[in-house]
């Protein structure tokens, strides 16, 4: 196997391990730095809670599908054409899929954090220019 292939596989494996870890830390920091007070409301009853749409399953399955799809398609295509799939290629495609899924989740967490902060800033402060609005502490 060529040296660059080994390097690519090792680099992808490293990135797959590191990107989600950094993504979670950054999202948590984004929320903390806003130092905003969340509105206090009533707790949901058990019945109401059971009627809410759970997103945990959705956000577990979709990134996995995104990550696994190219490697699976590659293996199927090679099998259909009567060749044995190369594990290096399958691993590289798998790594690339995980990198993409982690990037999309990171982008979503950043947007959601910004949106949450925007939602709880009182309306009158939203109309101020950003440089003035940044001085307000809630």
Binding footprint of other proteins on the chain (CB under 8 A)? 5, 53, 55, 58-59, 62-63, 65-66, 69-70, 74, 77-78, 81, 86, 88-89, 92-93, 96-97, 99-100, 103-105, 107-108, 111
Nearer to other proteins, 10 or 128 (CB): 10
Nearer to other proteins, 18 or 128 (CB): 18
Q: How far apart are the first and last CA of the chain?
A: 58
Which among 109, 130, 134 has a CA at the least distance from the CA of 22?
109
Q: How far is the CB of 128 from other proteins (least distance, A)?
A: 24
The tokens of 53 are what?
């749409």
The tokens of 58 are what?
């959705």
Nearer to other proteins, 56 or 129 (CB): 56
H helices of 81-129, in order, are 87-120, 123-126
Mapped onto helix, strand or coil, the DSSP state of residue 51 is: helix
Q: How far is the CB of 68 from other proteins (least distance, A)?
A: 11
Q: How far is the CB of 18 from other proteins (least distance, A)?
A: 17
Q: How far is the CB of 105 from other proteins (least distance, A)?
A: 7
Q: How far is the CB of 50 from other proteins (least distance, A)?
A: 15
CB atoms within 10 A of CB 126: 11
Nearer to other proteins, 56 or 122 (CB): 56
Cα separation values, 121 from 29, 125, 128, Å: 18, 7, 11
């Amino acid at each position: 196997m060529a040296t660059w292939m080994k390097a690519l596989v090792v680099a992808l494996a490293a990135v797959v391990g590191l990107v989600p870890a950094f993504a979670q830390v950054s999202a948590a920091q984004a929320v903390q730095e806003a130092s905003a007070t969340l509105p206090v409301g009533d707790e949901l009853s058990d019945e109401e809670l059971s009627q809410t749409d759970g997103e945990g399953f959705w956000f577990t399955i979709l990134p996995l599908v995104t990550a696994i799809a190219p490697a699976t398609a590659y293996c199927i295509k090679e099998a259909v054409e009567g060749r044995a799939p190369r594990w290096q290629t399958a691993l590289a495609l798998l790594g690339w899929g995980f990198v993409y899924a982690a990037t999309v989740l990171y982008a979503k967490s950043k947007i959601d954090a910004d949106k949450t902060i925007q939602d709880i800033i009182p309306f009158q402060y939203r109309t101020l220019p950003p440089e003035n609005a940044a001085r307000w502490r809630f």
